[in-house]
Structure 1
Amino acid sequence: MVRRALRNDPRKGAVLGFGVAFVVLSAAGLDAASAETLPEALVKAYQANPQLNAERARQRATDENVPQALAGYRPQIMASLSAGLQQVRDLLPGNSVANVTLRPWTIGVTVTQVLFNGFKTANSVRVAEFQVKSGREALRNVGQGVLLDGVTAYMNVLANQALVEAQRANVNFLKETLAITKRRLDAGDVTPTDTAQAEARLSRGLSDLNAAEVAYAISKETYAQVIGQSPGSLIPAETVDRLSPATLAASSTAARSENPAVIAASYDVEVATTTISVAESSLLPQVSVQGGVSRSVESDTTLGSFRTDQASIVGAASIPIYDGGTAASQTRQAKELASQSRMVLEQIRNQARTAVASAWVSNEGTKVALRAAESEVKAAGVALDGVRREAQAGQRTTVDVLNAQQDLINAKTRQIVAQRDRVIASYTLLSAVGRLDVRTLNLNTPDYLPEVHYHQVRDAWHGLRTPDGK
């Protein structure tokens, strides 16, 4: 029924022949010099993402636990100074009274050195060092999450942009179809039903276009939040399957030794186990030595001495006998926490194994889905061409053409989503294994090394300046 109008319309090829694959977006007049690739976007996220920078600051704070624990090996030096006025009223023989104003002052220095505290200092240093190692893995885990968020944000913008273009082309096609149908209605070739069907499809197309534009706007804001700036022209991204193990078994094995969450949990077990020894130190003897020098000056000339200088060195040992049960309770508590940490480690290992299996299956599934979507788009395009030719021969109605067009739009939408999911799934698998980092991806940015700040502060005996860790 739409034969003559479709055949004679010179714009039908431009209306129907739109492309929505990502590669079309990169070839549709984009300036290659200003276009941004996924690795470039990930570099910006790695350098400026607030969440990642906050985690780096947290790790630098954790580094300070080590010099604080090492302070137990070092002497404690205290200087003291006291001065004041003292009014003295003396009752002398013969009931005479003498008032004297004194101005005494004392200055001194005390040095205390712990010789033995039940190995508390040594074990506290070990705890602090394990905390640092656990924190580094936690930082690496956050870094993986930020990079994966960057990939997701990038691909969402790319996909939603393609969906907007697809829906716009669809609306243009529906507008042309409605205009043609109205002309044919005026000529008496179709009924008002055909016009109503075309109007309904156009309304649906406008609604779908609006939804696509809303999703596109949201994805751009999410991109700005993760990457640090609004997206410009984005270039289609490639998968990173080549960086992941070749089999599911190899991926699971790699995750057990490389996944940062698993490694961090294993260090947490070491922290909890060593904390038991820290708690037990309160049950052992304590030995220290203290030396001091002081000078005390009195201004009362009636005293036998005007100034007193003192120097001393004193050794002290204490053996705990009973503290009300505090140390014993703390030791039992530490043992329970160590048991909990071992259970948490096993739980995280199971979660990592499940995450790898899920990521692997999803990654393989996206390959199938993408191939199916590409085949569907090709078949839907052929079907639309056939329906249009049959409509030109009077064997199809307007609604048949509209349905074929809708099938093609749905197929292209699924293809766009499959292309997005394909890339994200490959990065998700890499993250589950524990290899989603700057070095593996070969990003063009210096890798943040937490060890630098650690060595800057580990043996610092004094100073308030905070190193930047670079």
Structure 2
Amino acid sequence: MNWTRPFPVLTAALLAPAGLVALAPQAGAQTLADALAQAYANNPALLAARAQLRAVDENVPQALAGWRPTVSITNSFGYADGRVRSLTQAFDPNTGGARQVGVSSHNDRTVATNTVTVTQPIFRGGRTVATTRRAESQVLAQRARLLATEQQVMQDTVTAYVGVIRDQELLRLNINNEQVLTEQLRATNERFRVGEITRTDVAQAESRLAGARSQRAQAEGNLQISRATFQRLVGLPPGALIAPQPLRVPLRTSQEVAQAAAANNPNVVAALFDEVGARDNVNIQTSALAPTLSVSTQAGRNDNNLTNHTRQTFAQVTANLTVPLYQGGAEYSAIRQARQSAQQARQTVDDQRRTVVQQATQAWEQLQSSRAQVESVRAQIRAAEIALDGVQREAIVGSRTTLDVLNAEQELLNARTSLVQALSTVVQQSYALAATIGRLTASDLGLAVDTYDMRAYYNEVRNRWIGFGDYSGVAERR
């Protein structure tokens, strides 16, 4: 029987020292680092998350605008047509005295008004300060979410990469099994023709071969699905993939992993900044009850406002103080609502911590159990190979049936399949473990990519007073 050992490179990798060590690439081969770099540069979900961060960065200049003056120009131009009727004293020749007569005047004119107003806020009840603090917290929370998205993309890419290798190996095992059972059926028919075995043995061999063909067809479909998943994440179809090593995190116990996850996981960091922003929102809502102070400067002119050929110019500076007394009660409700939202954010932090601790512990335990499973399955394969060889020899002398041989072959196939799956699980869980402690970013993996600078766009737009250009290109740096 021509059985081969699955995942030879990955099997050796499990015995390698800690760290992600690059394997010598074959000609035209695609490594895991290549796939991760391609996903980092082109994955649509990651690109969308970066754009979302840039959008959140704009909250800061919007908040800082509360310190800045507003300037407006008001112009009006039109036509006015007026008639005025009045009574006046006139000489009456009939009586020789005075009498009142009505006098009408017609005044049509072109009117124009031009006004420039500059308003400088002095005090807004603390709203500007609180809004700026909340905007800064939102930016930091969104940066953490971007890291979480980046880690998720890296983890999904690792899963897809290993999934293609796994399904390729499973397909190879199933093709090999089909070939073995085809040869087994041929030998069974030969023995049936010479009368050594019965028709039952032939039917058993035919049944196993039909089942093997079904499993091979399913393995082909699974491989195509894995290839499609790989292309969705990476943007390119998989080439000649090299089996990767598992990552080795610098932690020794599940307790250390749990502590690192509770402190460094991006989801926890994002929840912490969300809580800070929720507390700042309480101050924002409270500012609606505080007085506001501003200074306004206004200058302008009115042309032909009352009569033709007249012009009125004016300029004034005013200090405006507004003290809210009662506004219907909506502001008090908004304050109460903000306080409840802050409590919700506080509980969300605890929930995120518990969630990531559970995920980290699960990833650690699954990684340890998968490593132990690999060793156990290797021992199972060695024993199954010996058992298959013995059953085949005993079948030749008639002490074993065809069904015994088929069962031994199936047991060996199942063991080899389990080894392939266990090895792929070891690699996937090692990267999943790194993600739970926040160490699965492009920088942590040392990918040869132009890393995305999360602070560049923020620094570019934070203090801009005007401009509506696209500054997203500043965030790309080598």
Q: TM-score, normalised by structure 1?
A: 0.92
Q: Which residue type is aligned with residue 64 of structure 1? A: E
Give the 4+ runs in structure 1 shifted more than 6 A. Answer: none
Residues 1:194 and 2:193 are matched in the alignment: no
Could you give the per-residue CA deviations for residues 194-249 of structure 1, whole angstroms, max 9, x where no partner exists? 111110000010011111111111111111111111111110010111x3422222
Q: Which residue type is aligned with residue 69 of structure 1? A: A
Residues 1:463 and 2:470 are matched in the alignment: no
Measured after TM superposition, the shift of residue 390 of structure 1 is 1.9
1:265 aligns with one of 266, 271, 285: 271
Matched-pair contact (CA < 8 Å) for 2:10–2:243: no
Could you give the per-residue CA deviations for residues 68-96 of structure 1, whole angstroms, max 9, x where no partner exists? 00000000001111101122233366656
Matched-pair contact (CA < 8 Å) for 2:127–2:284: yes
Measured after TM superposition, the shift of residue 106 of structure 1 is 1.2
- Aligned residue in 2 for 1:35: 29
Residues 1:359 and 2:353 are matched in the alignment: no
Could you give the per-residue CA deviations for residues 259-279 of structure 1, whole angstroms, max 9, x where no partner exists? 101111111110011111111
Equivalent residue runs for 1:185-264 within 5 Å: 185-241=192-248, 243-264=249-270
- Which whole-Å CA distance do the structure 2 matches of 1:237 and 1:113 have between them? 62
Residues 1:281 and 2:267 are matched in the alignment: no
Q: Which residue type is aligned with residue 246 of structure 1? A: R
- Which whole-Å CA distance do the structure 2 matches of 1:210 and 1:444 have between them? 38
Q: Which residue type is aligned with residue 276 of structure 2? A: E
Measured after TM superposition, the shift of residue 31 of structure 1 is 8.6
2:334 aligns with one of 330, 333, 341: 330
- Which whole-Å CA distance do the structure 1 matches of 2:212 and 2:10 have between them? 21
1:183 aligns with one of 186, 190, 198: 190
Matched-pair contact (CA < 8 Å) for 2:57–2:458: yes
Q: Name whichever of 381-390 and 146-155 sits farther off.
A: 381-390
- Aligned residue in 2 for 1:80: 74
Measured after TM superposition, the shift of residue 54 of structure 1 is 0.7
- Aligned residue in 2 for 1:4: none
- Which whole-Å CA distance do the structure 1 matches of 2:405 and 2:253 have between them? 46
- Which whole-Å CA distance do the structure 2 matches of 1:391 and 1:46 have between them? 56
Structure 1: tracts of 5 or more residues without a match = 1-14
Measured after TM superposition, the shift of residue 189 of structure 1 is 2.1
**1:31–1:455: structure 2 CA closer, same or farther, 3 Å change rule?**
closer
- Which whole-Å CA distance do the structure 2 matches of 1:255 and 1:175 have between them? 52
Across the two proteins, how many residue pairs are aligned to each other?
450
Residues 1:369 and 2:360 are matched in the alignment: no
- Which whole-Å CA distance do the structure 1 matches of 2:10 and 2:436 have between them? 31
Measured after TM superposition, the shift of residue 395 of structure 1 is 2.2
Structure 2: tracts of 5 or more residues without a match = 13-23, 88-100
Residues 1:168 and 2:207 are matched in the alignment: no
**1:149–1:31: structure 2 CA closer, same or farther, 3 Å change rule?**
closer
Residues 1:48 and 2:42 are matched in the alignment: yes
- Aligned residue in 1 for 2:407: 403
- Which whole-Å CA distance do the structure 2 matches of 1:191 and 1:252 have between them? 61
- Aligned residue in 2 for 1:447: 451
Measured after TM superposition, the shift of residue 378 of structure 1 is 1.7
- Which whole-Å CA distance do the structure 1 matches of 2:150 and 2:10 have between them? 32
% identical aligned pairs: 35
Could you give the per-residue CA deviations for residues 271-290 of structure 1, whole angstroms, max 9, x where no partner exists? 01111111111111110110
1:343 aligns with one of 333, 341, 347: 347
Q: TM-score, normalised by structure 2?
A: 0.91
Measured after TM superposition, the shift of residue 299 of structure 1 is 7.7
